């Protein structure tokens, strides 16, 4: 289905804004251009919302989350960057596994099941896209998602 990614992201931000405001986290959204992609809208919305939810959850008070939407002729690019606790190099390879949570976050009061990123990963794979993680402990995390704009299968 044709999915307006700008509208999708604005909807996600609107829904998660109370969570961010509670922690005084500033959400900044930058849209380079309008992008319409053939996608499973419900699944993709959940996939990107998981990333924004994590960015808010794993960022201390007064931090910031920057979301960017861009595209070229073939692909849409969505990035979610935070100024949070980061992910140790030794754990980055495992965060897409089901139920995997990094030690430091495992018994935080901000509970979770460890399923979010595995769902995000499989949805992006289903869209023939890719997902990359750049992270530094105590500095923050950036997750970059690419999905082809035109999908014959969806």
**Sites for ligand ATP among residues 68-127 (CB under 6 A):** 82, 84-87, 95, 100-102, 105, 112-118
- Kindly state the smallest distance separating residue 101's Cβ from ligand ATP, in Å: 3
Report which residue's Cβ sits closest to Mg ion: 116
**Sheet of 130-136, strands arranged across:** 26-31, 64-71, 75-82, 140-148, 130-136
Spatial separation of the C-alpha atoms in residues 105 and 57, rounded to whole Å? 10
CB-nearer residue toward ligand ATP: 52 or 71: 52
The secondary element (H helix, E strand) that includes residue 43 is helix 41-57
Distance CA 135, CA 132 (A): 10
Neighbouring CB atoms inside 10 A of 106's CB total: 11
Q: Is 49 in the site for ligand ATP (CB under 6 A)?
A: no
Q: Please state the closest distance from residue 47 (CB atom) to ligand ATP, in A.
A: 11
Q: Where does this chain bind ligand ATP (CB under 6 A)?
A: 50, 54-55, 58, 82, 84-87, 95, 100-102, 105, 112-118, 141
């Amino acid at each position: 289905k044709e999915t307006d990614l700008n509208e999708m992201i604005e909807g996600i931000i609107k829904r998660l804004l109370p969570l961010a405001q509670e922690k005084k986290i500033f959400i900044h959204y930058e849209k380079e251009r309008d992008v319409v992609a053939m996608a499973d809208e419900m699944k993709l919305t959940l996939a990107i919302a998981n990333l924004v939810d994590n960015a808010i959850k794993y960022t201390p008070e007064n931090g910031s989350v920057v979301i960017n939407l861009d595209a070229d002729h073939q692909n849409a690019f969505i990035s979610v960057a935070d100024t949070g606790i980061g992910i140790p190099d030794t754990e980055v390879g495992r965060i897409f596994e089901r139920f995997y949570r990094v030690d430091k976050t495992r018994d935080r009061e901000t509970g979770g099941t460890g399923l979010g990123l595995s769902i995000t990963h499989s949805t992006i794979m289903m869209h023939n896209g890719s997902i990359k993680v750049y992270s530094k402990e105590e500095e923050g995390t950036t997750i970059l998602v690419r999905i082809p704009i035109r999908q014959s299968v969806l």
